[in-house]
Chains A and B, each alone.
Chain A
Amino acid sequence: MFFLENIWMVPLMPAAGAATMLLFGRRLAKPAINAVCVGLVALSFLWSVIGVLQFTGSGMPRYEHVLYTWLGSGDGQMLFTIHNGATAEFVVNAGVLLDPLSCVWLLFVTGVGMLIHIYSMGYMAHEGGYYRFFGYLNLFMFSMLTLILANNYLLMFVGWEGVGLCSYLLIGFYFHKHSASTAANKAFITNRIGDAGVILGSLTVFWLFGTFDFTRVTDLARQHSATLMGTGMVTAATLLLFVGACGKSAQLPLYVWLPDAMEGPTPVSALIHAATMVTAGVYMVARSNALFVLAPESMRVVAVVGALTAIFAASIGLVQNDIKRVLAYSTISQLGYMFLALGVGAFAAGVFHVFTHAFFKALLFLGSGSVIHAMSGQQDMRGMGALRTKIPITYKAMLVGTLAIAGVPGLAGFFSKDEILWQAWSAHSGEFRILWYVAFATALMTSFYMFRLIFLTFFGSPRMTHEEEHHLHESPRSMTVPLMVLAVCSIFAGYLGVSPSIARFVGLHGETNRFEHFLAPVFANHVEEAVAPAEEKDEEGSASEYLLMGLSVAAAGAGWWLARRAYAVEGKQVHEPINAFAPPVYRTLLNKYYVDELYDVAFSGRATVGGARLGAIGAGEALWKVDANVIDGGVNATGWTTRAFGWFSSWWDRWIIDGLCVNGPAVITERLSKPMRLLQAGLLQWYALVMVIGVAGLLWYYVLR
């Protein structure tokens, strides 16, 4: 049990690699860097494999191990009152939780991560900043593994932020390019919007249950499911968490960063934006499944947003010309499928699609990287063509990936995608049936654009320049071997989750859908409106299931046929059928429905009408003006009136009080006394005269009487 008990070492090994790169990376030579970084990731993969084997062998439902108390003291301080009046202590441990869900993620993250590290050795061989690239990749592995292995919401959030940071660092790896650094900013900022949702959602969970630990939250939620079902707080918590998932996993309003994230090197796109980081949102929703089933409104929101994202992104992907952009929109679309599955209650199906998607999407991205490598950096499909014979291994690998994603029977994508479609049709007794139509249309579009990619790139006539044609060569072994491994996985990974109806169709018996059984304890919610996967129904359900299966296969085939007609043609010019059919539609799709421009106007504040800015920043400026003029104007007016009163007071004081009342009598006295002073001339005769006048006056008075 050594590897299981020390499963916390798994994230720390890539962390050690990152630290080494930070401290010594500049001085190390390429072979040393390879040995450290790729070796550590390979070691962590082996460790996690053995750990998972030990876990499944032990028969425990889950393995939880607390390493230390991270936040809070754990001894009864930091007490808060939660929503039902109980007192809860705020304590967050740093611990690992290994249950079937995190096992699945652990395996494919380390596995695909290891393959991509090997691939990067060849891809980045001629690039500068080699040590920096591997340092960031290792840091990313550390963050992702922390996210997966965390046993509580806040520790998971640490990993969440870490992958966001690494995404920024890696998208902006070619930071000399302005487009790359702005794309990195866009990714980080959009992710940040989601992070607000995660924080608020986690705190709402604490408010509801008094704890952050996944196990305790799940147990409490299942215990009190009757009282909590459909309450506002649970709905709020789940919706907030879903906002975070939208940001990280590029769902409808917050998906805009993912296509621009293709500015990063191709291994980055493969690892982060196809296989691992974007699945973190799915992981969080799956982990919180006990909460989500208590909030049917949130589930509906999740399903609808997932379905809309799927068809939206697929429609844009129909006309993109950059090979990596097509794959980016394909990723968004497939993530929409996963959320659709989670939203209708088919958690296991969603997780299964994550699992298979990781393989074939990584394969497709690495393959496109190989194509770009062969084309000396050319990424536009209009400048490719007829590469089939020149880079055969890459072609075969990408063909396998395309068949998988299109849902051709026999490959991984068929099983997982079909499961989702069936659940969409039948879950909750057909409540989400309309979403099946959406998903079906998306499947048709997916097949079409993927085959368009294949035909434009590998078939037709060569449209590249003479220079590029000369340099065409197959990629080195370090790049092709991971492609082959991933191709094998894309074919065989699906057999882990064969649904019983298919098994019956093919004639297999016994325990099928091992994947879902493996995950059953995680999703064992005892809810009234049972999430019971419809496959537990009997034969009557099977007929419609076969019908739907047939329809989706037909959609795959239709997509292939239409694409072949349009693109597998000779000729230097690429004719887009949509453009011929309806140019406005084509233009809208090519410009991605002008969403980026809309966001620019609404939020970036770069658009101005007259002198006023539009959007959120414009509202901010308007409020600033209100504050500066009205409110501050009011303040200034009070100040001004105070000054006026002060002026009046000073005038009053100076002229009335001082002038009239204080100085007045003095002045009057002075003015009156001046004549009086003359009476005292100091001359005797004057006094005598005055006496005479006085006597005369007296006499006059008496004479007149």
Chain B
Amino acid sequence: MTPIATPFFFYFLAGIAVISAIVMVTKVSPVHSALALIVTLLACAGLYLMLYAPFMAGVQIVLYAGGILVMFLFVMMLVNIEHLYVEKMLNRQWKFGLAATLIMAVLMLGALIDGFRSLPQQLVEISEQNNVQQIGQLLYGSKGGYYMFPFEIASILLLVAVVGAVVMAKRRV
């Protein structure tokens, strides 16, 4: 395997991500969970950087952490979710679900570790410097702009989502 990043930062960021994810899942209060999730996403952004994807890292921070999670927090504030009575944290099937997901995890890891050998070696060398430009080339470029159409579709999707959110959330008069 070609070396990708320094081990220290990798383990550090990966550990923060995983631990913070576990914290998120196990907290009673949703606000605490949201904050834990922000930490996780920021750690993920760091991991993206190490993977020579600065643009994605930026999108992660701006969009995910700064947009979505903030929106979550706003909604939690609006709904006054702290004052709702929570008698139980976990539902009836938590043991069953936990077991299933553990099995799933084992299987996935096993599949990864076993099947990693079959993956081919590095095919393309991506550069660190002009990452954004190359992504732009792929999205909008005259030659190599494979993703123009999906981009438009994604914009329509966002429109639909906005309209949908407004419709769903507005008060029936």
Binding site for B on A (CB under 8 A): 683, 685-686, 689, 692-693, 695-696, 699-700, 702-703
Which B residues are in CB contact (< 8 Å) with A692?
Answer: 97, 100-101, 104
B75 on the A face (CB < 8 A): no
B107 touches A689 (CB 8 A): no
- 9 residue pairs from A and B, CB less than 8 Å apart: A685-B97, A686-B93, A689-B97, A692-B97, A692-B104, A699-B111, A700-B107, A703-B107, A703-B111
Extra contacts besides A686-B93, A689-B93 (12): CB < 8 Å: A683-B91, A685-B93, A689-B96, A692-B97, A695-B104, A696-B100, A696-B103, A696-B104, A699-B111, A700-B107, A702-B111, A703-B110
Q: B111 → chain A, closest Cβ, in Å?
A: 5
Q: A687 → chain B, closest Cβ, in Å?
A: 11
Across chains A and B, which 9 residue pairs bring their CB atoms closest together, nearest first?
Answer: A699-B107, A696-B104, A689-B97, A692-B100, A693-B100, A703-B111, A696-B103, A703-B110, A703-B107
Bound complex: CA of A456 vs CA of B69, how far in Å?
A: 158
Which A residues are in CB contact (< 8 Å) with B110?
Answer: 703
B152 on the A face (CB < 8 A): no
B87 on the A face (CB < 8 A): no
Residues facing A in B69-125 (CB within 8 A) are: 91, 93, 96-97, 100-101, 103-104, 107-108, 110-111, 114
Q: B83 → chain A, closest Cβ, in Å?
A: 24
Bound complex: CA of A686 vs CA of B104, how far in Å?
A: 16
**Known contacts A689-B100, A692-B101: A699-B108 contact under CB 8 Å:** yes
Q: B44 → chain A, closest Cβ, in Å?
A: 22
Q: A697 → chain B, closest Cβ, in Å?
A: 9
**Known contacts A703-B110, A703-B114: A685-B91 contact under CB 8 Å:** yes
Interface hub of B93, B97, B100, B114 (most chain A Cβ within 10 A): B100
Q: A690 → chain B, closest Cβ, in Å?
A: 9
Which B residues are in CB contact (< 8 Å) with A686?
Answer: 93
Bound complex: CA of A686 vs CA of B100, how far in Å?
A: 12
Which A residues are in CB contact (< 8 Å) with B103?
Answer: 696
Which A residues are in CB contact (< 8 Å) with B114?
Answer: 703
Bound complex: CA of A626 vs CA of B165, how far in Å?
A: 99
Bound complex: CA of A689 vs CA of B104, how far in Å?
A: 11
Which A residues are in CB contact (< 8 Å) with B100?
Answer: 689, 692-693, 696
Q: B58 → chain A, closest Cβ, in Å?
A: 32
**Known contacts A685-B97, A689-B96, A692-B97: A699-B104 contact under CB 8 Å:** yes
Q: A704 → chain B, closest Cβ, in Å?
A: 10
Residues facing A in B6-40 (CB within 8 A) are: none
Bound complex: CA of A700 vs CA of B114, how far in Å?
A: 13
Q: B103 → chain A, closest Cβ, in Å?
A: 5
Which B residues are in CB contact (< 8 Å) with A700?
Answer: 107
Bound complex: CA of A696 vs CA of B106, how far in Å?
A: 9
Q: B19 → chain A, closest Cβ, in Å?
A: 23
Q: B108 → chain A, closest Cβ, in Å?
A: 7
Bound complex: CA of A700 vs CA of B111, how far in Å?
A: 9
Which B residues are in CB contact (< 8 Å) with A685?
Answer: 91, 93, 97
Bound complex: CA of A700 vs CA of B110, how far in Å?
A: 10
Q: A580 → chain B, closest Cβ, in Å?
A: 129
Bound complex: CA of A686 vs CA of B111, how far in Å?
A: 25
Which A residues are in CB contact (< 8 Å) with B108?
Answer: 699
Q: B135 → chain A, closest Cβ, in Å?
A: 31
Bound complex: CA of A598 vs CA of B59, how far in Å?
A: 137
Bound complex: CA of A685 vs CA of B93, how far in Å?
A: 8
Which A residues are in CB contact (< 8 Å) with B93?
Answer: 685-686, 689
Closest Cβ neighbor of A689 among chain B residues = B97
Q: A702 → chain B, closest Cβ, in Å?
A: 7
Bound complex: CA of A505 vs CA of B97, how far in Å?
A: 154
Which A residues are in CB contact (< 8 Å) with B96?
Answer: 689
Bound complex: CA of A279 vs CA of B111, how far in Å?
A: 135
Which A residues are in CB contact (< 8 Å) with B97?
Answer: 685, 689, 692
Q: A621 → chain B, closest Cβ, in Å?
A: 87
Bound complex: CA of A692 vs CA of B108, how far in Å?
A: 12
Q: A192 → chain B, closest Cβ, in Å?
A: 103
Bound complex: CA of A692 vs CA of B106, how far in Å?
A: 13
Closest Cβ neighbor of B105 among chain A residues = A696
Which B residues are in CB contact (< 8 Å) with A683?
Answer: 91
Q: B59 → chain A, closest Cβ, in Å?
A: 27
Which B residues are in CB contact (< 8 Å) with A703?
Answer: 107, 110-111, 114
Bound complex: CA of A700 vs CA of B106, how far in Å?
A: 10
Bound complex: CA of A703 vs CA of B109, how far in Å?
A: 10
Closest Cβ neighbor of A691 among chain B residues = B100
Q: A329 → chain B, closest Cβ, in Å?
A: 120
Closest Cβ neighbor of A688 among chain B residues = B97
Which B residues are in CB contact (< 8 Å) with A695?
Answer: 104
Bound complex: CA of A695 vs CA of B91, how far in Å?
A: 21
Q: B157 → chain A, closest Cβ, in Å?
A: 23
Which B residues are in CB contact (< 8 Å) with A696?
Answer: 100, 103-104, 107
Bound complex: CA of A561 vs CA of B114, how far in Å?
A: 156
Bound complex: CA of A199 vs CA of B110, how far in Å?
A: 119
Q: B81 → chain A, closest Cβ, in Å?
A: 19
Closest Cβ neighbor of A690 among chain B residues = B100
Bound complex: CA of A696 vs CA of B96, how far in Å?
A: 13
Bound complex: CA of A685 vs CA of B101, how far in Å?
A: 13
Closest Cβ neighbor of B97 among chain A residues = A689
Bound complex: CA of A695 vs CA of B107, how far in Å?
A: 10
Interface hub of A683, A689, A692 (most chain B Cβ within 10 A): A689
Bound complex: CA of A685 vs CA of B100, how far in Å?
A: 13
Bound complex: CA of A699 vs CA of B106, how far in Å?
A: 10
